[in-house]
């Protein structure tokens, strides 16, 4: 896709490797791109997880925001999700082992 055919709604989420305050995620976007991100976050916030048959009990719903699709080509993959688990509102599911053997950490 060349610069002339790119959508006007552009947003990029980029992980800073050497942030001054530790790991950082930078979010940059056009006004329309930032509105799109806000709309996605509001949809996620307003989602009725209880009615989602395929969502396991105790897990929060998430959205994948992908480079070249929802995000700018240069963006990193972003996963945004609900911290409250379906059915119980608990967030202990985030403390489960990660694929690399580490554990996610959450501060309530």
Percent of the chain with pLDDT over 90: 8
Distances (CA, A) of 68 to 11, 44, 65, 76, 82: 10, 21, 9, 10, 24
Which sequence spans correspond to the domains of the chain?
11-95
pTM of the entire structure?
0.66
Q: Which pLDDT value is given to residue 19?
A: 56
Between 11 and 98, the higher pLDDT residue: 11
pLDDT tens for each residue of 56-107: 888 888 888 888 888 888 787 888 888 888 887 777 656 655 555 554 544 4
Between 43 and 78, the higher pLDDT residue: 43
Q: Which pLDDT value is given to residue 3?
A: 41
């Amino acid at each position: 896709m060349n610069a002339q055919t790119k959508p006007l709604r552009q947003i990029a989420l980029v992980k800073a490797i050497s942030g001054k305050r530790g790991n950082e995620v930078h979010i940059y976007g056009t006004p329309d791109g930032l509105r799109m991100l806000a709309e996605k976050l509001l949809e996620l916030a307003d989602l009725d997880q209880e009615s989602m048959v395929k969502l396991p009990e105790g897990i929060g719903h998430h959205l994948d925001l992908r480079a070249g699709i929802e995000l700018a080509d240069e963006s990193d993959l972003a996963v945004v999700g609900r911290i409250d688990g379906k059915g119980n509102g608990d967030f202990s599911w985030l403390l489960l082992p990660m694929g690399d053997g580490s554990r996610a950490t959450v501060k309530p």
